[in-house]
Structure 1
Amino acid sequence: MPDYLSPGVFVEEIDAGPRPIAGVSTSTAGMAGVTVRGPATGKPQLVTNFLEYQRTFGGFLPEPGAAVRDAWAGNAAEGGRWWLFPLAVKGFFDNGGERLYVKRVVSRNATPASGRLGHGLVSPVVADAASGATAVQLGHLLGFTGEGQQVGLFRGDDDQPIGTATVTGYDFTTRRVELDPPLTAAVRSARGDYVQVGARSGDATLEFTAVSPGAWGSGVQVRIQPVVGAALPVLPDPAEGALFVTRLTADADADSPTVQVAEAAGLEPGEVWVRIGPGRFRAQAGQPSDGKVTLTFADGTTHHAWRTGLGVQRVRRANPAAGPALRIGGASRLYPGAVVQFDDGRHLSVRHVEAVHDDVVTFDGTAPDLFETDRVALVEARIDTRFTDPGGTTATETFGNVRLTGDPSAVAAALARSQLVTVTALPGLSPDPANFPVPATGSWLGLAGGDDAPGSLSVADFVGVDGGSGARTGIVALEDIDEVSVCAVPGVWAGTVESALITHCETLKDRFAVLDPQDGLDIEGIQAFREPFDTKDAALYYPWLVTTDPSTGQDVQVPPSGHIAGIYARVDTERGVHKAPANVVIRGIKLTDGLAADITKRHQDLLNPRGINALRFFPGLGQRVWGARTLSSDSSWKYVNVRRLFLFLEESIDKGTRWVVFEPNDEALWALVRQTVSNFLTTVWRSGALAGTTAAEAFFVACDRTTMTDDDLANGRLVCVIGVAPVFPAEFVIFRIQQKARETQLA
């Protein structure tokens, strides 16, 4: 109890009354199956609609080669048609399912696609230019050296050369280069045309690997480009003096060696750099005379003709001593090892940062002659990935400001969120933009070598192994998701797999399995298939369904488990888990001939007593689920809704009473437990899930000395006995009709 050691007012919070129990969800499904792509490791992934499934796991699977198809489809004991899994998922959502956890099953011999980049300098063309054009706009100019540089132009579709040219001028901001001679053929951005400087090297720099195994990875492409991570202003050297702004006081002819400007504060005799129009010029300032100053340009200076009144302003140098250090605004954006590119207006040069102290940055070589109007470009990387699935859907990713310096693992960390690739830095990696990672040809690297290895896929891959939380595979991985209440392995009728699925449900005691029979079975065949099973935690449905495969437009038979799991979810949401998931229209199949076999009443007279739920067609009512029985020989558990109701009650009470653990085990606690459980069951009864006209008829809760012995108390056991009366479905509706003799009435 709390301590009261000094006078005062004390406010305490105490628990009063029972704690509410919230009913758990019963409409969340879990499935394991083969998909086009998607994570093969980790926990099952939640998808809430079929579009989300396609984004994560791909579209529909093609039928495998004849050898693999026949080995699985022709095996009555340990076979299946696992390539129908995406159609079963679609059936789940078509029938009202809203939450599905999917665990991808892959062959143990499956391999991911991969590819390596060499290094070189490539820049994509980003705007079309016609034949004869003298300028081209590029994706970047990082790594270029400026005027006088030789470049090659190439087509992006077949990597054939378009021509070579010399850079005669450039604009770093707009990424536009002037070329001589003019283009001999048009360049096209949409075609992927690009400019290449020098030759490419095969020395490996980065290795990209698809995030999961399978042939899907051969559709992944990767591109890495240098980008400007930051454009930082150069600060003037403190010894450069004050700024001044003045104007021309007289016209100046083109290339005249002197100009006359108005006297201004800060304009002192001596060497100065000035900006006149767009140009920057070095000049010697003379002594003022009559409010005017003569500026004498350095020998060889050329310029346009200027008019009186044109503005003249001083530009201060940043590196007058020609040393390795510069003052840079925003220097905190730089870091040791960072690569920067300088632009002096005619040439581009690259340096590496050695140290940063306040706004002073030291480089690995002499900094070029720069001015306060210049900018320093921080060179980093941008990695683009793209994937186009067979259906034409394209997924793209962009990762910017990736550092290629320092710890090589930083590149992998930058792509940790990628849904398409992982990356490994190799010894040849360089942050120098002139030696950036590039493929052997073109701008994009296409991954190759991915293999699903369907020939080695086995039932063991569907069963899975328990490697611990997050490292489980197959059916076993569904254990990682506590919310799952219905599970299936659509299209797989292998005895080993279905036995593992049943064991999974019976062990966890909070979920129910929907099994698929082999396709093409007749009435005798389905009865023989059902014989090995005796479980209250699974149900079997017959026959298979017929739907249209959207990827081919052809009719195809699909396993019923996906559609049935969706119906379970729909009925749970609309009516409750106590309602039998039967007499419900099956959606997502052909409106006519949507069932692979025609089941009549005489057929069902044989199937129903054996716990085989029939899917039937009724004129005017459509194609419906016409059975709600489990595979149990125990008549107490023969109905699906009764078994799932108890799973719901048990799981809800288990989660809602965990607060009881380690509480003092006495009468006060027992009373709280009784009231807590009674309140919950009263709510369940009022929803129509329990039989009885009163709550006392519907359930009882006992938790007192009659349910516990002294030995139980001494061993820390609290025993609560609960009895409920479930509502059984009206499976057989009987109307007894008899003849009634006419009675004569006397007046």
Structure 2
Amino acid sequence: MAEYLSPGVYVEEFESGAKPLEGVSTSTAGFIGLASRGPVEGLPQLVTSPADFGRVFGNYLSENAFGSYRYLAYAVNQFFTNGGSRCYVMRVAPSDAKTASNESEEASVLSVQAKNPGAWGNQIRVVAVPASKAKTPIHEAGEGNRYRVKNASGFYPGDIVVFVDGADKQYNRVVSVHDQVIELAEPLSGDVVDTALVPAKSLSTAEFTLSVVYGTESETYEKASLNPEAPNYVEKLAGRSALVDVRVAGAGEGIVAPFAQIAGEGEGPFEILLSGGSDGTKESLSAGDFIGEDFGPGKRTGIQSFIDNDVVSIMAIPGVTDPNVQLSLVAHCENLGSRFAILDLPREATKVQDVLAHRDLFDSSYCALYNPWLQVFDPLDKRNIFIPPSGTIAGIYSRSDTTRGVQKAPANETLRGVVGLDVQYNNGEQDILNPAGVNLIRAFTGQGIRVWGARTCSSNSLWKYINVRRLFIFLEGSIKNGSNWVVFEPNTEQLWARVQRTIDAFLTRVWRDGALAGTSPSEAFYIDIGRSTMTQDDIDNGRLICVIGVAPVKPAEFVVFRITQKTGSE
């Protein structure tokens, strides 16, 4: 309650109307798979183009090295080719993959390690050159080891400094800095005072500049120091590197210039080469690598890393058809209730009975199966190869959501960048697979290659269509995100009326967009909130319960034209 203490006119704002609800995005995909580089734990990385994927996760993997585990790069490329705009990617690495480092150089002051495992780190070059961040003449030599300088800015306790008088150099360490007085660890010899307009003698800090180079990528950390107390400490500067982790293995106790500690007696550029990096082998991969581990925030891997991501609504692990991995992905989507899994079938499962055997492993409305594999061009081997369809289908989901809306079944859509199919199924085979919930991709004369199915893997007929489940994911996510303002508000009739108006306005807009059936909003949905949905016990325990019913549109899966002969006498 506002206080009114002095006479006057008071203007106050208050909210009484409905708050607009904004629909959540349903077109953001999440991919998990092998890559040549990139982080293997923490948050999935945002990727907005194939080139962006290459910068973060490297190029295509070879078939000889990784076989059926190599399809992540192809899937992401197909996702963008088919209309996707953004996705999040989490890399998986074999357990025997190793990180490149300079650990073989036992006497090295700097310990440099590639940011993540892989042979890519063996190509990293780290170059150090001498540098200095501050330079000043000495104006007065005080008592002890104190010297008044022209400008003490840039000098910090613990810094190694060098006093230069022509060809003569004296190294020292800063003990303290106060105003323009610098106290050194040892006294300087000779006449050190120089008050000339253009001084010939100077006291300078001793640092080094570190350059990290990998292919066309380069990072430069200027005027780095080995002094932990300085703001330009090398570990602090290089902490933002996307290529390497730099640690000070052990700076010398004596008064030695940082560059000399790193490079020895040389004065020119000093190069640190990394080695020992390895991509690992496909034999060491297991289902656990893709399922991942939950080591806490920032340390999760595989599927578990997407727990911290609330943007992704489509999930795929391209080419990995291990039932343990796929069932874990489906369980992940069901537990969160905000995302949908696209599953691949094994390439060798081409016969109807083999396809059905794999299909029978699943019963969920949060996933869909697609077959067969697709023929695309391989930029690595310069030939056509077959890849799993999940990345392409994820792009079609995104494209359909953007152009038509999530209520449109992502079927009868052409596949871009696909030149052929591994298997061509006929109508009789689809008559068996379609009711079972296997979505086929088929080639039609004059119509290209199209997705010819829109069913989930659920045995519940209410959730047999992909667009119905994804529409509910959209509605639930939008209402949840847009209703946070309700929490801790007084649970009264006024609040109930505001909530009803808010959701009514949102669902009316959804109905007008064609996502809900009915000729009027009252036929498309209903909202029930108040004493009919809550008891006094609910209110006393802080619960506000709103019951919402919607009538989703269903796809015209079977179009039947009944034709009869009209005779002249009729």
* TM > 0.5: yes
- Partner of residue 426, structure 1: 249
More moved, 3-12 vs 494-503: 3-12
Q: 2:80 aligns to what SS in structure 1? A: helix
- Is the CA contact 2:128–2:259 (under 8 Å) kept in the aligned structure 1? no
What do the CA deviations read for 1:345-397 (whole angstroms, capped 9, x no partner)? 44444343344343343443325546432344322121111123xxxxx2111
- Partner of residue 412, structure 1: 235
- Partner of residue 212, structure 2: 385
- Is the CA contact 1:48–1:100 (under 8 Å) kept in the aligned structure 2? yes
Letter in 2 for 1:22: E
CA distance in 1, matches of 2:167, 2:235: 37
In the alignment of these two chains, the number of paired residues is 557
- Is the CA contact 2:97–2:279 (under 8 Å) kept in the aligned structure 1? yes
Q: CA deviation at 1:606?
A: 1.8
More moved, 444-453 vs 349-358: 349-358
CA distance in 2, matches of 1:367, 1:333: 23
- Is the CA contact 2:130–2:259 (under 8 Å) kept in the aligned structure 1? no
- Partner of residue 263, structure 2: 438
Q: CA deviation at 1:717?
A: 2.5
Superposition pairs for residues 495-574 of structure 1, below 5 Å? Answer: 495-524=323-352, 525-574=354-403
1:220 aligns with 2:110: no
CA distance in 1, matches of 2:167, 2:143: 18
1:54 aligns with 2:41: no
Q: CA deviation at 1:401?
A: 1.9
- Is the CA contact 1:211–1:420 (under 8 Å) kept in the aligned structure 2? yes
Superposition pairs for residues 289-308 of structure 1, below 5 Å? Answer: none
CA distance in 1, matches of 2:143, 2:176: 17
CA distance in 2, matches of 1:8, 1:92: 63
What do the CA deviations read for 1:689-732 (whole angstroms, capped 9, x no partner)? 11111111111111122222333333333221111111111111
What do the CA deviations read for 1:243-301 (whole angstroms, capped 9, x no partner)? xxxxxxxxxxxxxxxxxxxxxxxxxxxxxxxxxxxxxxxxxxxxxxxxxxxxxxxxxxx
CA distance in 2, matches of 1:575, 1:92: 18
Match of 1:484 among 312, 321, 328: 312
- Partner of residue 513, structure 2: 687
What do the CA deviations read for 1:223-253 (whole angstroms, capped 9, x no partner)? 2222122343x2656xxxxxxxxxxxxxxxx
Superposition pairs for residues 22-421 of structure 1, below 5 Å? Answer: 22-65=22-65, 69=67, 81-116=68-103, 203-232=107-136, 234=137, 326-363=147-184, 364-366=186-188, 369=191, 371=194, 372=196, 373=198, 374=200, 375-388=202-215, 394-406=216-228, 410-421=233-244
What do the CA deviations read for 1:440-499 (whole angstroms, capped 9, x no partner)? 998322211123333322101111122222221111111110111111111100000000
- Partner of residue 11, structure 2: 11
CA distance in 1, matches of 2:343, 2:14: 49
- Is the CA contact 1:691–1:725 (under 8 Å) kept in the aligned structure 2? yes
- Partner of residue 176, structure 1: none
Letter in 1 for 2:280: A
User: Compared with structure 1, are the counterparts of its residues 13 and 428 closer, same or farther at alpha carbon in structure 2 (3 Å cutoff)?
Assistant: closer
Q: 1:340 aligns to what SS in structure 2? A: strand
CA distance in 2, matches of 1:564, 1:651: 22
- Is the CA contact 1:116–1:205 (under 8 Å) kept in the aligned structure 2? no
- Is the CA contact 1:84–1:491 (under 8 Å) kept in the aligned structure 2? yes
- Is the CA contact 2:34–2:69 (under 8 Å) kept in the aligned structure 1? yes
CA distance in 1, matches of 2:553, 2:405: 12
- Is the CA contact 2:124–2:273 (under 8 Å) kept in the aligned structure 1? yes
Letter in 1 for 2:432: L
CA distance in 2, matches of 1:415, 1:665: 52
User: Compared with structure 1, are the counterparts of its residues 707 and 406 closer, same or farther at alpha carbon in structure 2 (3 Å cutoff)?
Assistant: closer
More moved, 472-481 vs 361-370: 361-370
User: Compared with structure 1, are the counterparts of its residues 519 and 327 closer, same or farther at alpha carbon in structure 2 (3 Å cutoff)?
Assistant: same
CA distance in 1, matches of 2:265, 2:225: 22
User: Compared with structure 1, are the counterparts of its residues 582 and 429 closer, same or farther at alpha carbon in structure 2 (3 Å cutoff)?
Assistant: farther
CA distance in 1, matches of 2:220, 2:240: 11
Letter in 1 for 2:151: G
- Is the CA contact 2:316–2:343 (under 8 Å) kept in the aligned structure 1? yes
CA distance in 1, matches of 2:183, 2:309: 54
CA distance in 2, matches of 1:405, 1:433: 9
Q: 1:422 aligns to what SS in structure 2? A: strand
CA distance in 2, matches of 1:328, 1:679: 71
Letter in 1 for 2:160: V
5+ residue gaps, structure 1? 70-80, 119-201, 238-318, 389-393
CA distance in 2, matches of 1:532, 1:362: 75
CA distance in 1, matches of 2:49, 2:418: 18
Letter in 1 for 2:407: H
Letter in 1 for 2:75: A
5+ residue gaps, structure 2? none
- Partner of residue 663, structure 1: 489
CA distance in 1, matches of 2:87, 2:9: 53
What is the RMSD computed on CA atoms of the aligned residues? 2.5
Letter in 1 for 2:299: A
User: Compared with structure 1, are the counterparts of its residues 407 and 737 closer, same or farther at alpha carbon in structure 2 (3 Å cutoff)?
Assistant: same
CA distance in 2, matches of 1:117, 1:501: 40
CA distance in 1, matches of 2:264, 2:175: 30
User: Compared with structure 1, are the counterparts of its residues 322 and 633 closer, same or farther at alpha carbon in structure 2 (3 Å cutoff)?
Assistant: closer
CA distance in 2, matches of 1:55, 1:419: 10
More moved, 322-331 vs 724-733: 322-331
What do the CA deviations read for 1:178-201 (whole angstroms, capped 9, x no partner)? xxxxxxxxxxxxxxxxxxxxxxxx
Q: CA deviation at 1:28?
A: 1.0
Letter in 2 for 1:557: F
User: Compared with structure 1, are the counterparts of its residues 726 and 419 closer, same or farther at alpha carbon in structure 2 (3 Å cutoff)?
Assistant: same
Q: 2:380 aligns to what SS in structure 1? A: coil
- Is the CA contact 1:541–1:615 (under 8 Å) kept in the aligned structure 2? yes
CA distance in 2, matches of 1:651, 1:89: 25
- Is the CA contact 2:60–2:74 (under 8 Å) kept in the aligned structure 1? yes
- Is the CA contact 2:29–2:87 (under 8 Å) kept in the aligned structure 1? yes
Q: Report sequence identity in percent.
A: 45
